Structure formats: structure tokens, C-alpha cells
Structure 1
Amino acid sequence: MNTSSLVSPKHNIGRVKSRYRFFFEENSYSVFMSLLLTMAYFVLHAFIKLERIDFDNAFYRYFPQLKPNRFRLGDPIRFVIQLTFLTLVKFKRDGKQAVEKESKYSIFKILPLFIDWAMRFDKWFTLRVRQSLNKEINENTQTGFQKLTSADFWEKPHITKILLAAVLFLLAIFITVPFSLEAQAIFMSLILFIAYSLRGIKGPLPTIVMITLSITTSTRYIWWRVNETLNWGDPIALFLGFGLLAAEAYAWFILILGFFQTMRPLKRKPVKLPKDTSSWPTVDVYIPTYNEPLSVVKPTTISALALDWPEDKLNVYILDDGKRDEFKEFAAEIGVGYIVRPNNFHAKAGNLNHAMRYTDGELIAIFDCDHVPVRSFLQMTIGQFVEDPKMCLVQTPHHFFSADPFEKNLGNFAQTPNENMLFYGLIQDGNDLWDATFFCGSCAVIRRSAIEEIGGFAFETVTEDAHTALKMQRKGYRTAYINIPQAAGLATDSLSTHVGQRIRWARGMAQIFRVDNPLLGRGLSLSQRFCYLNAAMHFFSGIPRIVFLTAPLALIYFDAYIIYAPFLAILLYVVPTLMQVKITNSRIQGKWRYSFWGEVYEAVLAWYILKPTTVALFAPNKGKFNVTEKGGLTDKDFYDWEISKPYLFLATINLIGLVVGVFRIFFGDPVQIGVLLISMAWALYNFMILGAAIAVAAEAKQVRRSHRITANFPAALRDANGRTYKVRVTDFSDVGVGVQLPADDLINVETDVDLIMSRGRRQFSFPCKVINARKNRIGLILSNLTLEQEKNYIESTFSRADAWLGWQENFTHDLPSESFKHVKQTSIRGFKSLILHAPAKAKKYITKIGNILILVGSFMPQKPKLGNLNYESAN
């Protein structure tokens, strides 16, 4: 019996080392590397005219996969792969350190030259077009193109109808006429070229053109899918193909409605109030609360009292559905109304309706108990009611000074627009154009007579706010949206709480769709119906999103052609259409929603909103109102395994699909390689999106109950010796303030000081203690404020009229390539967090898999390292 096969793996490695000991001896290794370097130098010099190399330090810069004084069995293969890569691509020095890639003597020479020429031409063309569109000769002169687009005849109804008919006729031709693959390639290339050139040009006309192109390409894609890509000969493929087509049709429908909703945001301005304050209406301020702590409700109540409005025309009420004595005592102490009811029927809607029995203000301002209004809130909103007697609702944005779970757990607060920003920054502005502004439950003013006419706040659904607005609009009342943040509050604290809140919204919108469908009934215009339909349909995205996250596995696992078309046809229809839609959405939504993040948000919620929306369609009375908890703390980092189960399952089946796909490429039918590669690319993209969803479930520690708010306004500081310094407030919370001093080291830690801030012409002093100091920055903590001082402090900070005006200025316009990189990095972080939080037994196997992936990655060609990497530093 041959026993050599029974030798242990370690012994086998020892035998290999013994046989090839030349490579493992330090001196011999140096000789070996010198020979490789010499060979590499001559090859590179001969093929790409590389500049003279410094033999002492260049080798490991051009071959970063290899390790000094350490030989691995795969090093010759790594060397050959990298050498081939360097042979095909020239890396030319630009200055001293930078390395610039330039194609020369490459088998891929023609393609890079063509792409370079196309990009140069596009840059020139775009520059010329921008100059012709944006350049103003003087204040009274416009370019010909500007005169054309701003001419009065565009507003004439018959001109509009003629143009619309012509556009629809052309669209019908481009959508339905079958093209050869060559014609499809030319058609999509032309559309992408036009869209790419228009994307940076200001004005509504380029936006409308890009929207038209996106509708054309996406509708043509759906037409092609229906007519040419269903596999009628395979029942399984046909069933799964119909499922994918239905999901795509849903996405197409939502895309069209979204374009309609957001193509021309109104950007309404506030209406000035009459100078005679006696004509101003009376206002009741409602602050509903159920289980929130007094520390959350107190700033909102104090700020409501500080609203700039005649004192005899303003009444503030705490609507306490929790029936708590401490709230009653606080209300009496501060001088606001306190209303409770004997039961909690109909949740928030019932609370509001009960309060209307005991108040009589002409208008009702509503704030969730954590939403702190600025003092200008009523001044900015009520002019609309005075000007228009049919105005029933004025809504303002929901702005959050704390990070939501995405921002907190991913660490991108104020860097990436959060999930809410698209709705409050763009969609509500678009709704306002069509007189379809939604009531969002807070930060809004409502006309009492309109509420009374519809029988009170709607309680038939768990989204009483949107349903209430719908009912008032059916009665012919008008609505408005002022896109200026006039209040700020707390975002959801954890991913589970966030998901719970979205479940309630999804259930409520599905209930509205079922019991008071906006497409049916009287009173709404067609545009209002479309806006409400899009809002309701948005929450039915659970099933389509899961279909998209699993669709590529049909071919990989079951050999089912759900898109029954040749590889090249799929490539020419799918990829350009997605690119066109991404470019257009990036232009429209770029300041409020970055590319690819929408898929992440939907992936997080898809599984959880699937059931409640489906149930609400068939049983709208099922489900209950759940209050979103705010102000919670997390004393340590942890991973929420429970909430992430769907993401983990979907990521696992996509990962297995990728492995199976690789196996099938080498051992399967060669004819399938093209469509198999497309399916694998799709599965890899899904894997990336799910990785980002997994990253959100890694809950970051939150031990600070009071959230720091960035600021920049003047104040003064007085020390114990009576010296006063002019300072700037850099941040604040309800318990402390950050201050910038005029010079370094002026005040020491543990020093008692007085912080002096102002509201208008009034100045207030607040006792503080310095708790930290660094150069010219110090941190203060407020010391035992009286109730009056607490009121003055909130009026000087949270209630400042300019407190939240810069909320959108932190974000640059979306760059799809950068957004893709960010999502990819987030995905990698998500899978790393699994390793970090995995049980000990699982970590061992995950680490082994990670080492295998690192080993495979070490064979990939790499760009040479920048800078001087000498022999020692490479260690």
C-alpha cells in the first residue's frame, strides 16, 4: 500500500519547502527577486518604453502583490499576471510621484482611444451648449435659446396641445417600432449621449427632455419585454418571467408617477401678514403625547409659548393620552392648557378630535411632542390662510436634529441625505404644484372649519394625517407646502423602531388605497389623484423589491430564462435603460436622494412592509396604531440579528448563486455563458445592496440623551473675574453648549462662567461650568437653571428663526459614481460587522473564508504604488 498519500498536510508543505529550499533562503530569495526585476525591466522597457527604474526600491512598487524576503507558492503566478498587466498598460510619471495610466502598444489600444475621443468631444459639446444656454449678455438681453424657451406662446393651450400630440406620436413610434440590434445600439447610444450632455445644464427644459427620454427608453423596454422575452415553452420560466415582468411594470409605473410628481417643484414663498394684528386669526397649538418622557415634551412646549404671535390670540395645549401627573403639574407651572380623555380610542386622531371639543381657535397648529418649533413658525405659514379662505392646510418639512438609524449606524449624518429628505425636500414641493400637499401629522397648521366639515381628523386608517388631507381636498379645499424648516425633532433611535414606524405608514397608505381610493370618488382633480396614488403605491414596493433581489437566481439555480432573449439583446435593452433612468433621477433628485441609496432603503424595508400592505388590501381594519418611541439610549454597540434575518437570508442565497454561477461557467453549457454572466453581475449587485442593508443593522452606541446641534451665532462669556469675551456658539443641546473663544487657553476646565445670549434686543445670562477645553474651543454644561432661565435658553437656541435654515446646504449634488463607491464601501463594512459580531464558533469559519478571499485577491493585477517604497518600507 502506498502510504505517501496519508502524509499530513503540514508534512507535505515541509517536503515542498525542502525541495524548493532555494526560494526560502534569504540570500537566494534576493538573487531570485533581482533576476525577476531584471527580466521585468527589460520586458517593460522593450514593450512600453518605461523610464529607467531604480533597482533598489521600484520592484515592490510595480509588483505590490509580492512580499520582501517572503516567498509564497503562488508568487511566480502573481508575477506573471502583474507583468502581463504592466506590459499591456503603460504607467507614465507625471511630476515626481503621480502615476498616470496611458494605453500604448496594447491589444486594447483602439477602444481607449475611441472612448477618450468621445469624452473629449462630449466635454467640448457640453461646454458649448452650456455657454449658449446659461450665458447672459446683459441684464436685459437673453440668448436665442433662452428667448425661445421663455416665450409666452408656450403658455397658450392650443400650442401645448399640438406639442403634446406631436410628442406622443413620436413616442409611440420610438416605443413600438421593432429595431435590429444594431439600430437599438445606435438609438440608445444617441439617447445616452443627449442625456449625458444635458445633465449639467440649468433650467426646466433640459429636465423635461431628460424625463421624456427616460419615459421613452423605459416604456420601450417594457414593450420589448411583453412582446419578445416571455418563454412560453417553459412553464417554470414563464411563471417566474411573469413575476419579474410584473415587478418591472410596477417600477415603471412608479417611475412615471414620480416624474409627474417632481418635474416642476412649486417652491412656494410665504405670504406676508397684514400689518394690523387685530385681523390675525386665533391659533390653538396642540402637542399630543402618549408615552414620551417629559424631557422630550418640555422644549416643544416652551418653544410653542415663544411663538411670535399676539398673546391674546395664541393658546398652547398638551394633549396627554398617557394621563401623567408630572405633565399636568408642568403644564400648570408653565401656563399652558392640559387636556386628557377617559380612553385612548382612535389613538392620535382621537386625541386631536377630543381636544377640538374644548378649544375654539380659528386655526390649529400641530406639533409632535418632540418637534420644537422656531419662533417664526406662525409668521411663515398663516399668511396663506389670510390670503385664501379656501386654504385648509399649510405643511412645513419634518427636520431632524438627531441621526436616524441609517445615519447613526453608518456614521454619515449630515453627509448623505437621509431617507426623509426626498419626500420633504422634493416630493412635497412637487405635490404643491398640483394642490396635493399631504398632511404629515406635525409641523403644520389646519383650518378648524375645514376639519369640522369632514367630521374631524380621519380615524379610519392608522395614517390619520394623509387621510385627513385627502378628505379636505375632496371638499374643494386647497393646501400649501412651505419648504422652509420651521421645526426640528428627534429621528427614530434604532433600526427596529424605524422599521416599525414604516410598517405603520405602509399599512395606513394601503388602508387609504382600500377604503378611500384616491382614483375613485368625487372632489379630486386628476393630478391630485396621481399624487395620492403614487404615495399609496410606493408602499407596495415590498414584493417587487424582493423579486429584484432574487430574480437573477432563476437562471443560475433552475436554468429558467425569465428574460428569454439573446445575451446581446438583454445587454442593449437593460443596461442603457437603467443608465438613462439613473442619470435622469440623479438630475432631479440629486440634492435629496443619492443614487443607489433608494435600493438600500427599499431592501431594508421590503420584507417588513410586504405583509401589512397585503393584509390591509384584503382586511383594512386589521392592525393597530403603534407610537414611535423617541429619545432612547444604547449603552453599547451590538448587531440586531433579529431584524437582519431577511437581509442575511437574501444575501446568502445570492452568494451561493455566485458560487454556482462560477462553477457553471467552467463546467456548464458554453452557449449560456453570456446570459449567465449578466445574471451573476445582477446577483453581485444585489449582494452589494444587501451588504449595505446588513450594515445598517449594526447598531451604534448611543449614550448621549441630549443631541448636539451644530450652530454658528454670536454670544458672550463672562468669567468669575467679570471679564467678558466675545465668542461664537458652535453647537448646543438642551444641557450644554460648545463655544469658540477669540484666543487659545483663555478659560480653564472646571471654571464657572456665565453664557450671555440674546433673542432680538433682549439678553439672557445662563450659569455654566467649563467641562472641557482644547485651544480656543470649550464645552459648557448648564448649571441648575430655573424654569424661567430654561425658557430663555430654549428661546435663544432651539427657537431661533434661523436655527434650521441651512439644512440642505450641507449636501452637494449627487455623483452616481461616488454614490456607487459609497454604497460598495458600506456593503463591505456590513459584512465586516457580521464577522465582528458573529458568535465565536462562526467567527472561525468566517475568518477562513475571508483568508481564502484575500488569497484569491492577491492574484489580481494592481496599479503600481505611488511614492518611494524601498526594500525596508515594503515590510
Structure 2
Amino acid sequence: MFEVFRHETSHFNNIGRFTVLLWLGFSWLFLQSQIAGRTTWSAPATLFPKVNFSRPRWGDPLRLLIQGAWLICIRQTPSDTQPAFKPPLPKAYTPGDLRSVHWLFKSTALIRWGIMRAEKKLSLHQSYNPASDKALSRTQQQMLGIIVGCAMLLCISVPMDYQAQTIYVCVLLLVAALLRQVSGRFSTMLLMVLSVIVSSRYLWWRLNNSLNWDDALGLFFGLLIVAAEIYAWIVLLLGYFQNIWPLRRNPVPLPGNEQDWPKLDIFIPTYNEPLDVVKATIYACLGLDWPRDKFEIHLLDDGKRDTFKDFAKDVGINYIRRPTNEHAKAGNINYALKQTTGEYVAIFDCDHIPTRGFFQLSMGWFLKDPKLALIQTPHHFYSPDPFERNLSHFHQVPSEGTLFYGLTQDGNDLWNGSFFCGSCAIIRRIPLEEIGGIAVETVTEDAHTSLRLHRKGYNSAYLRVPISAGLATETLSAHIGQRIRWARGMTQILRLDNPLRGPGLKWHQRLCYFNAMMHFLSGIPRLIFLTAPLVFLLLHTYVIYAPAGLLLLYVIPHMFHSSLVNSKVHGKYRYSFWGEVYETVLAWYVARPTIVALFAPHKGTFNVTAKGGRIDEEYFDWVISKPYLLLIALNVLGCIWGGFRLAFGPETEIAAVLVNMAWTLYNLLLLGAAAAVARELKQIRSTPRVVADIPVSLALPSGHRLSARLRDFSFNGMRIEHEATSALEEGQILDVIMERAGEYFAFSAKVMFSNNTVAGLQLQYLDHQEMTRYVQCTFARSDNWIKSRGGFHYDRPGFSFKQIAAASLRGYQQFLEIGPKPLPQIYYFYQAVRDKIYSYLPTRIQSARHFSN
């Protein structure tokens, strides 16, 4: 009896202890919530967000226990608000530490002061005159060049052991990190010099100390990798040369008397594009701010369509149809040259819409420089390309062409090497006729034409102002097809009219053209880099015959310095790592045509890039993605086999296996992003909408007028935002009033939907004159594209890497979802298991107001 009583007493004591502990825990939890001041007991879901109290599940008791323990043990910060940033408390420094920090700051300040003094002393700005009395003589320049060259050669070629190489690398990394903090062009030039030294030293070491001469297979693959690295080194050096000092040319004002302005012919070549795409360009040209008797618009129709002829007649422009179609676009323009007489020829692709001030901003340079034969302006696109649309980063990440039109062409302009890009350009007729018109020997007639103009001694100019806009390619297949044509054409020029040879070009012009052509030869080197580590992992062949630690001491500084310089130089025109994604997508497809063009330069035909299409259903482009999937499979196999070698292989190879597996994982990251681009998202609009912020007025049938903001527009409609939008009724007809150069125009529109502060309007029938005015008030506004082009932040390599990692993860996820069986089943099973496990994991508490809204 006593034993039973003692057992019961013990049982109740245990219950009492458990109750006390439970109350203590919940009291602590209550105190936490009260101290935080953001959570109350009125909403239990704030404490247990993964428990549905209205519909309990079998696992809820376990979820309550895990979440309760989490809340008791971990102090909560509500996740709906970000705590104020508090800088970390400084640690207690020793006098030696303080001296080191003080020395670091003094060194940085000294370097900045020295660079500023050097810039001032050397007068490194646009007004610098090399022919001035203070400039170095030719002999002094040669002596200085010899001294600098010898010093660089010593830095590149002197052999060092592990310790010396480590100290050398650390010193250069420290200097580069300090220079990175100094603004200005001179610090950028010093960073370029450091990068050239480090990269050249790496290549010197690769050629002299890392080739496997004892193994024929290893030597063969090792030489392939070295050849790819030499290509990358040449492109790196040419890129530094090309972008060392972008000219940043400004517009030149025209004479005050309009009678002194020259006459122009505007060519709009077309072949198979829909009329709706061409109409916008014609309407924009009709409204150009240029005396109407000083320009004539010509619609060059190689498609021989009567609808185009009738439209040209209706709007009052000239229609040109040639009897044959030889030489594609180049032949079309050359035929029109014989039918026209204007002093200058402006060429716009049929989807490129010029702003109304296009000629007023660009023509002044022709009147200032009689030797100027060509002025090129950027190709700006108001619709997303496949990368921007399929990866959902339109206006967040610079597009593939932003680097070329934002920086490279501007760098070419310093060396008088900017070239014709086929559209949004003006050419003086006399030089063009002197070289026989547009070049027809290659499929990139634009660059070849400017090369011939430069050979004749004429100048070119690049005006980095987005004063026109067009449609980007809609699908990845169309985008790749366009790049294939560019790659084939530039390789044809390299073979048929090599800029390194032949008369007429300055040495710097030769290098600018050569770099442009080298860029399109990146297919084979990129494929080598994507498969190089697999030679060691799968074939057990040493393609880099050196210790892994020594390899890292050479390759990491090379990669770090080149990435650092490119990040600073490219700024907001190309984010880190994205260039490698673009090359990965194109590598397989540009490799073959460039090789063929090198050996058979006359092969290949001109293909027209489709514009203005729709994508009715989302799909994965299996045809385009086959090369990526093959490379992914090979790299995954390499990782699996590398893991096996780590577990069961010799210990002496562990470091080499780890280095090659890291390289393979990076390749898988790039290939995953490439696969993500192949998932074509739905695009139901054939006329893309352009984001805007333009003040407008709404004239209602009742006679009231409301002020509003135009948030986006297209050729068919617009979206407006207004505080009193609720007064608009669906189906209502109203007038949208817009302003242009002090004049106001009304456009009839129908309300398609209206909710809260947003309304969607559809344009009613507008005649040709009204459409011209509408385009002038929307697409052809002079400030439209300047605002959208300058909206990118400067490059942040870490954030950029995170973006690519997210895109790569999405690519693999999409492939697993729609891949062949049993991949989708395995993926869905994994998702179910993951979600089940996640439902038991504790979660930070949410604010109660989330649940009351």
C-alpha cells in the first residue's frame, strides 16, 4: 500500500514539475512577446504559423511541440520588419593593430593623392594635347616604353617558389584592392596594368611549367586548354585597349537657319515583317523634327507586297520595289541608292522607331567634320530579349548588347574605329558611293561597309544617346539565329578583308576591328572550358601537370584581377559572370559556322530576324537545349566519378580532384542558367507595352476633365493611373489628351477595365495623321529611352553571382519538372517529402497585423 502511494505521489510530483516547467516556459514566451511589443495572444497563428487551428491534422501536436520549444529557447524578432542596422561594436585593438589600421588608411590616402597628382600632372583628359611643348619627345617615349616593358617582363617571367609567389600575389591583391577604392580613369588604367602583369605571368607559367610532356593524350588536351587560354588572354588585352578611354562624344548644335540644314533620304528596308511592325517606324519618321522639304522617306520592300505599296501611298511616302532579291538587305539598300539623290542616307530597320529629335542631335557632327562618313547611334530595345524575358530580369540586369552600345562602341570612337551596325545610323552619300555602296561580300554588310570607309581615310563617330528604339528578338532560337549570322559574317570579313592587313587603316583601328571579330570566335574556347576538367575526372589524364596549390597561386590572382577590372570598367553595362552565361548559350551554335567561315568564307546566306511575334503557350525548347543537356550530363557524370575518386582514390590526388570538381560545379552553374533561358515564357501581346510616367488628361463625355498619369502604352492601348478612376465605367468612350512640344492632342479610347486607381484603355480608330501624333507623344518622345537606359546600378559581383545561381537552380528545376520519365515523378516525390519535412520545422513569429488584414 505504501509502495503504491509513493508511486502515485511520485507520479503527481512529476506532473507538477512538468506543469511548473510548462508555465515557466510560456511565461518566458509571453515576456519575449511583450518585450518585442509586436505579438499578442489574440492571434495564435502568429505563434504557430504552420498549424491550422480550424482544420487540425494528425501531425499538429508534434508541430506544436517543436514550434513551442523553438519559441521558448530562441528570442524572436518578427520577420515582417527589418531591425534597424547596427554597426558591429569595435573590438579591443592592441597598439600594434591600431598602428596597422592607421598605416592602411594613410596608405590609401597617399595612393589617392598620388593618383590625383599624376592625373593633374599628365593632363589625362580630353583636352590633353600630345603635341604641346610639355609632352614627351618621341625618343623619351621610346625610352620610357623600353623601361616599362623590361620591368613588366621581369614581373612576368621571374621564377618564384611557393613563399615568394604567395607574397607577390598578396602584395598585388592589396594594391588592387586599394586602387579599386579610388575613382577616376587613371586608377582604372593602373588596375589594367596590374591585371595584364598577373594574367601574363599566369600564361607564362602555364606554357613553361604545367604541360604534361610525358603523356601524349595529356599533352594534346593540355595544348587545347592553353590555346583557349591564349585566346582569352588576347581578348582580355584587346578589351582593355578598346575600353581604356571611352570618348563620350556630345551632340554638336546645328546652324540657326534651317535652310542650311542638308537634305536626307530615310531608308526603311523590309522583307517579311508584318505591316503593323513597319507602320510604327513610318509614323515616327513622318513626325521627325526636321524641315519636311529636307527629307524623304522610302519604304524598301523586298517582299513585293501590295499592302505595303498601298499603305505607302496612303501616308504619302515613296515605295521602292526591286525586281530581284540578290544580296538581301545590302542589295535592297544599294538598289534604293540609285533611285534617290539625298546628300545623306539614314537607315532604320523596320522595327526601329526614331525619336523626333534624332537628326537634330546627330547631324551637327557632319557639318563640323567634312571627313566624317558615318555616325552610329545605339540600338535600344523597348521589349525584352529571351534572356530578360525567360529569366524575368528585364530592366534589372543589363542586356547582352548593353556593353557593346554603352561602352565598347564609345571606346572604339576614341580610336576612330566605331562601325556601322545596320540601323539607326546616317551615312554621307559621296563616301558610300565611292566604296561601291553597302558591302555585299559578307552577311554582316554593316561592319564590312564601315571597314571600307575607314580604309578610304574617312572618319566615323558614335553618339552614345538612345534616340531610337526597336523590338528585341522574341525567342531564343531567333536570338541564336541572329548571332550565328553575326559570327559567320565577322569571320568572313576576317578571312576576306582582314583588318590586320591591307591599306588605309591606322594600327589602333586594326586592333578595334580585330577585337570585334575575335569576340565571335569564342565558341570553341568556351566549349573547351566547359569540358576541360572532365579530361582529368573521367579519363584520369593530367592536362595541367602541376601541384594543385601552385596552380591556385597562379590562376586565382589571374581570375581575381581580370574580374576586378572588368567589374569596374563595365560598371552598369555588363554585370559579373553574365558574359560567361551569354557565351555558354551561344558557344555550341557559333562554333560550327565560324569554323566553316574560316575555311570556306563564301558559304552562308543572310537570314532575316523575325520580330513582332507572339508565344501563345509556354514551352521548353528541347531542340535548342540539346547541347546544354548533353554538357550537363557529362559534367554531372564527372562530379559523380570525382566523388568516387575522393572516396576510393589515392590520397595524393585529392587536391587535384577537388580543384577539378570545383571547376565542374562552376560549369554546371553556367549550364543551368543556359537551360533556364530555353524555357520560353508565354507572350500573348504582339505589341509589347512600354513602361512610362507621362502626365495626361482624360476628357469625359460629361464634360469633366481628370488629370492622370500614363503608366504604360503600346500601339493598341495604354494603362493610366488616377485617384478618381472609379468614376470611369467599363465600355465608356473618352479622350486621352497628351502634350508634345507645347501642343495638345486628343486620342479617342475605350475603357476596357477600371479598378481602384488603375484603368486600361484601348485606342479607337485613329487615322494616319492621328497615329503619327500618337507615336510622337509616346514612342518617339526624346526623353523616353534616356530614362530607361540609365536605370542600372553598378556591378556587385556577389549579388550578380547570386542571380546566376538562382537562374541556374530554376533551370534544373524546370528540366526535372518536364524532363523524360522518371525525372518528373522523382522530382514531385522529392517536393512532397521536402514540404512535409518543412512543415515541421520551426518558424519565426509573424506580426499579428498580418492575420488581421
1:35-80 CA-partner distances (Å, limit 9, x unpaired) = 9xx9xxxxxxxxxxxxxxxxx99x999xxxxx99769xxx9xxxxx
| Structure 1, 796-805 or 697-706: larger mean CA deviation | 796-805
Conservation of the 8 A alpha-carbon contact between 1:716 and 1:757: yes
Equivalent residue in structure 2 for 1:306, among 249, 273, 287:
287
Q: Does 1:693 align with 2:666?
A: no
Read off the aligned partner of 1:787 and give its amino acid letter.
H
Mapped to 2, the partners of 1:233 and 1:191 lie a distance apart of: 34
Residues 183, 382 of structure 1: alpha-carbon distance in 2 compared, 3 angstrom cutoff: same
Alpha-carbon shift at residue 189 of structure 1 (Å): 1.4
Match of 1:748 in 2: 729
3-state SS of 1:745 partner: helix
Instruction: Name 2:440's counterpart in structure 1.
Output: 459
Within the candidate set 123, 144, 147, 2:120 is matched to: 147
For the Cα contact (< 8 Å) 2:112–2:182, is it kept in 1? no
- Give the counterpart of 1:770 among 725, 748, 751: 751
Which of 324, 330, 336 is the matching residue for 2:311?
Answer: 330
SS in 2 for 1:756: strand
Give the Cα separation in 2 of the matches to 1:459 and 1:266. 31
The residue type paired with residue 773 of structure 2 is: N
CA contact (8 A) 1:746 1:776 kept: no
Match of 2:665 among 684, 700, 703: 684
Contact 1:93–1:100 under 8 Å retained in 2: no
1:540 aligned residue = 521
Q: Compute the displacement of 1:805 (Å).
A: 1.1
Q: In structure 2, which of residues 439, 450, 456 is the aligned counterpart of residue 469 of structure 1?
A: 450
What's the CA shift for 1:844?
2.1
**Which residue number in structure 2 is paired with residue 482 of structure 1?**
463
Q: Of 543, 547, 570, which aligns to 1:589?
A: 570
- Tell whether 2:410 aligns with 1:437: no
Moved more, 185-194 or 573-582: 185-194
Q: Cα–Cα, structure 1 residues 325 and 452, in superposed 2: closer, same or farther, change >3 Å?
A: same
How far apart, CA to CA, are the structure 2 residues paired with 1:779 and 1:808? Answer: 26
SS of match in other structure, 1:534? helix
User: In structure 2, do the counterparts of structure 1 residues 96 and 736 end up closer, same or farther at CA, with 3 Å as the change threshold?
Assistant: closer
Tell me the residue number matched to 2:11: none
Q: Distance in 1 between matches of 2:160 and 2:816?
A: 50
1:857 and 1:596 map into 2 onto residues whose CA distance is 32
Alpha-carbon distance, 1:474 to partner:
0.3
In structure 2, do the counterparts of structure 1 residues 852 and 477 end up closer, same or farther at CA, with 3 Å as the change threshold? Answer: farther
SS at match of 1:392: strand
Aligned: 1:843 with 2:824: yes
> Whole-Å Cα distance in 2 between the matches of residues 840 and 220 of structure 1?
50
Cα deviation 1:743-783 (Å, max 9, x = unaligned): 56343333221101122122211011122334333222111
CA contact (8 A) 2:222 2:544 kept: yes
User: Contact conserved, 1:393 with 1:447, CA < 8 A, in 2?
Assistant: yes
Q: Which residue of 2 aligns with 1:247?
A: 228
Give 2:35's aligned residue: none
**Closer, same or farther: CA 809–133 of 1 in aligned 2, 3 Å:** farther
Would you say 1:416 and 2:389 are equivalent positions?
Answer: no
* 1:741 shift after superposition: 1.9
2:577–2:801 contact (8 Å) kept in structure 1: yes
Q: Does 1:552 align with 2:533?
A: yes
Between stretches 147-156 and 706-715, larger displacement belongs to: 147-156
Matched AA of 2:700: D
* Residue pairs, 1:631-642, within 5 angstroms: 631-642=612-623
- Contact residue 507 and residue 616 of structure 1 kept, 8 A: yes
Among candidates 785, 791, 798, match of residue 817 of structure 1: 798
Aligned to 2:352: 371
Q: Which amino acid letter does the alignment assign opposite residue 365 of structure 1?
A: A
Deviates more, 1:207-216 or 1:833-842: 833-842
Q: Name 2:685's counterpart in structure 1.
A: 704
The residue type paired with residue 644 of structure 2 is F
State the one-letter code of the partner of 1:462. V
Match in the other structure for 1:731: 712
Structure 1 763/852 Cα, relative in aligned 2: closer, same or farther at 3 Å?
closer
CA displacement at 1:799 relative to structure 2: 1.4
Q: Does the 8 Å contact 1:273/1:382 carry over to 2? A: yes
Distance 1:383 1:626 in 2: 34
Partner deviation per Cα, 1:86-110 (whole Å, 9 max, x = no partner): 9xxxx9999997999999xxxxx9x
Of 571, 588, 603, 1:622 maps to: 603
Deviation at 1:263, TM superposition (A): 1.1
Q: Does 1:789 align with 2:770?
A: yes
Amino acid in the other structure paired with 1:469? S
Report the counterpart of residue 602 of structure 1 in structure 2: 583
Q: Match for 1:650 among 611, 627, 631?
A: 631
How far apart are the structure 2 equivalents of 1:212 and 1:715? Answer: 53
Q: How far apart, CA to CA, are the structure 2 residues paired with 1:389 and 1:395? A: 16
Which residue identity is paired with 1:332? Answer: K
Aligned residue pairs total: 788
Conserved in 1, the CA contact under 8 Å of 2:48 and 2:845? no
Report how far residue 162 of structure 1 moved: 4.6
Aligned counterpart for 1:406 among listed residues 369, 375, 387: 387
Q: Is the 8 A contact 2:548 2:656 kept in 1?
A: yes
**Quick one: distance in 2 between partners of 1:208 and 1:339?**
51
8 Å contact from structure 2 (residues 725, 754) kept in 1: no
Identity percentage of aligned residues: 46
CA distance in structure 2 between the aligned counterparts of 1:118 and 1:240, rounded to whole angstroms: 51
Task: Compute the TM-score of the two structures, normalised by the length of structure 1.
Answer: 0.84
Say which SS state the counterpart of residue 644 (structure 1) adopts.
Answer: helix
Alignment of 1:449 with 2:430, yes or no, is: yes
Residue 787 of structure 2: aligned partner: 806
C-alpha separation between the residues in 1 aligned to 2:833 and 2:660? 24
Out of 683-692 and 748-757, give the one that drifted further.
Answer: 748-757
Distance 1:196 1:176 in 2: 24
Counterpart position of 2:200 = 219
- Matched residues in 1 for 2:299 and 2:99: separation? 64
Does the 8 A contact of 2:286 with 2:772 survive in 1? Answer: no
Q: Which residue of 2 aligns with 1:184?
A: 165
Match of 2:377 in 1: 396
Tell me whether 1:265 sits opposite 2:238 in the alignment: no
Letter matched to residue 547 of structure 1: I
How far off its partner does 1:451 sit? 0.9
Call closer, same or farther: CA 1:447–1:145 in 2, change over 3 Å: closer
| Aligned with 1:316 (options 293, 297, 317) | 297
2:551 is paired with a residue whose SS is helix
Residue 343 of structure 1 is aligned with which of 324, 330, 336? 324
Kept in 2, the 8 Å contact 1:93–1:99? The answer is: no
Deviation at 1:394, TM superposition (A): 0.2
Does residue 664 (structure 1) correspond to residue 664 (structure 2)? The answer is no
Q: What is the distance in 2 between the residues matched to 1:662 and 1:154?
A: 64
- Structure 2's unaligned 5+ residue stretches are 1-13, 26-43, 50-58
Corresponding residue for 1:518? 499
Q: What SS does structure 2 have at the residue aligned with 1:552?
A: helix
